[in-house]
Amino acid sequence: MRTSFGERMLDLIVSGFLWGIRILIVSVIVIGTIGTLRTGQYTSEQWIDFVVFGVAQGSIYALIALGYTMVYGILRMINFAHGDIFMTGAFGAYFIATWLTNTGFVDANPVLGLLIPILFAMGIAAAIAMLVERIAYRPLRGAPRLVPLISAIGASFFLEYAFRGFFGPGKYAYPPIKALEGSWEIFGIGILKVQIVVTIAAFIMMAILYFIVMFTKVGKAMRAVSENKDTAALMGIDVNRIIVSTFALGAAMAGAAGVLFSLVYRQIDFFMGFTPGIKAFTAAVLGGIGNIPGAMVGGLVLGVFESIGPSLFLEGLGITRPYQLKDAIAYTMLVMILLFRPSGILGERLTTKKA
């Protein structure tokens, strides 16, 4: 079909505008980075610190993002309550960790002292997510796409305010593990023990999840359901059961993330899931929603950018108090990735082989 001159001009203007934005953003980053590096305010140790903080934060985002991406892959639905599932895990772990710390168990067995709260949090989060799925999502399975989303927002509020009702609006300090205080020297650079342990734990969790999805029967069924629910049902797969196990698996990851988050930031409250939830959703979109390795990559990229961005390119531009703009960086990055690669860093993989 032949397009008119006017339409072609419009196309040209739009793409010119988009390119303008891309060039603008990239040049802002480059100029800012050069500006900062020229002042030489930070030592290389401090830059490494920024990256390490970012990786620890990013691996937690990644763990949460997995839940968003898996549920999206299977149901094409944004599980808005996922951030609050993360919160329930942290709360569950808080009580058992406080108890274990007070009895002296954690000091005696630091490894078990870390593992027990994580397992407990995974269990609680999975149980609550399964309940939420059963009560708030399953009855709406056939409804238009907006309906379960609204229901998810409702579930999110319900969880937040139920926990507020149970445990009050105050903040709780998560008990630190003594064995994780201080730092380890790695290649001559001191890195906080807790950051290392949290990052490693997150990577182990992700590896386990990847293994489950790719190499087990349940994982195979998940991928089949993600590809086509009806055909999967015809093949003898119990679709409801698979959906529930997807929710449970994603929630278990979020619950573990809740414990790791509490270990690093040491403070929990009923509203703690909101911001990390949104950030993890951003990470999932960033990596390509529906794509499991994408969620991991997206989380890490987001965490590192948030940590390093304010001091790397905002300070160089002469912006004072750049840390107030941390969230702006996260979301600008989302816009930028979507401009350059609309399907996310690793691409959306909804119906191809991977879940």
Partner 1 sequence: MSKRLFAVLSVLVLASMLFAACAPKATEAPVPATEAPEATEAPEATEAPAMYECTDPLGCVKIASDEPLHIAYWGVLSGADGSLGEDSKRGVEIAIDDKGGKLLGHDILLTTEDALCTPEGGATAASKLATDTSIVALVGSSCSDETVGGVATLTNAGLTTVSPSNTRPSLSAPDRGPDYDGYLRTAHSDAFQGKAVAEFAYNFLGVRKAATIHDGSAYAQALQQVFADNFVALGGEIVAQEAVAKDATDMKPVLTTIASKGPEFLYYPVFVAVGGYITAQVRDVAGLEEVKLAGSDGIFTADFLKASGPNVKGVYLSSPDFSAFTGDYAGFITKHQAKYGGSTLSTFHAHAYDAANIIFAAIEKVAVVEADGTIYIPRTALREAIYATVDFAGITGNLSCSASGDCGAPVIAMYEVMNDDPASWNPADAANPNPKKVWP
Q: Which is nearer to partner 1, 57 or 88 (CB)?
A: 57
Q: How far is the CB of 212 from partner 1 (least distance, A)?
A: 26
Residue 84 interacts with partner 1 (CB under 8 A)?
no
Residue 276 interacts with partner 1 (CB under 8 A)?
yes
Of 71, 75, 205, 285, the one binding partner 1 (CB under 8 A) is 285
Residue 192 interacts with partner 1 (CB under 8 A)?
yes
Residue 283 interacts with partner 1 (CB under 8 A)?
no
Stretch that binds partner 1, among 1-9, 87-95, 101-109, 146-154 (CB under 8 A): 146-154
Of 311, 313, 333, 355, the one binding partner 1 (CB under 8 A) is 311
Residue 99 interacts with partner 1 (CB under 8 A)?
no
Residue 203 interacts with partner 1 (CB under 8 A)?
no
Stretch that binds partner 1, among 13-21, 120-128, 168-176, 219-227 (CB under 8 A): 168-176
Q: Which is nearer to partner 1, 28 or 149 (CB)?
A: 149
Q: Which is nearer to partner 1, 216 or 352 (CB)?
A: 352
Stretch that binds partner 1, among 5-13, 91-99, 236-244, 318-326 (CB under 8 A): 318-326
SS3 string, the chain, reads: CCCCHHHHHHHHHHHHHHHHHHHHHHHHHHHHHHHHHHHCCCCHHHHHHHHHHHHHHHHHHHHHHHHHHHHHHHHCCCCCCHHHHHHHHHHHHHHHHHHHHHCCHHHHCHHHHHHHHHHHHHHHHHHHHHHHHHHHHHHHCCCCCHHHHHHHHHHHHHHHHHHHHHHCCCCEECCCCHHHCCEEEECCEEEEHHHHHHHHHHHHHHHHHHHHHHHCHHHHHHHHHHHCHHHHHHCCCCHHHHHHHHHHHHHHHHHHHHHHHHHHHCEECCCCCHHHHHHHHHHHHHHCCCCHHHHHHHHHHHHHHHHHHHHHHHHHHCCCCHHHHHHHHHHHHHHHHHHHCCCCCCCCCCCCCCC
| Residues within window 335-354 making contact with partner 1, judged by CB under 8 A | 338, 342-343, 348
Q: How far is the CB of 211 from partner 1 (least distance, A)?
A: 28
